[in-house]
């Protein structure tokens, strides 16, 4: 069941990144910063680290302004 859900999420990620100018798409668990699904392009560490940093910034801003 989990494999089927991951395949569905991967396919959805591929279809979401096609229309625009998106290089890579992730579906994250924000609390742990682990990605649950990604599109079919290879994952590179700098992009993943940038996403994790942006999650930190967003969480910090939500504590200040939320």
Tell me the per-residue pLDDT of 16-56, one tens digit each, with 9 for 90 and over.
Answer: 555 678 889 999 999 999 999 999 999 999 999 999 999 99
User: pTM for this structure?
Assistant: 0.68
* Cβ-Cβ contacts under 8 Å for 40 (sequence gap 6 or more): 10, 13, 14
CB 55 within 8 A of CB 30: yes
- Going from the N-terminus, what domains does the chain have, and what CATH number goes with each? 2-65 (3.30.450.190)
In the predicted model, what is the mean pLDDT of residues 52-65? 96
> Is pLDDT of 14 > 70?
no
């Amino acid at each position: 069941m989990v494999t089927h859900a991951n395949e569905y999420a991967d396919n959805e990620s591929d279809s979401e990144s096609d229309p625009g100018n998106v290089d890579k798409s992730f579906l994250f668990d924000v609390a742990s910063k682990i990605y649950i699904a990604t599109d079919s392009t290879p994952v590179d560490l700098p992009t993943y680290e940038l996403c994790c940093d942006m999650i930190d910034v967003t969480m910090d801003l939500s504590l200040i302004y939320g």
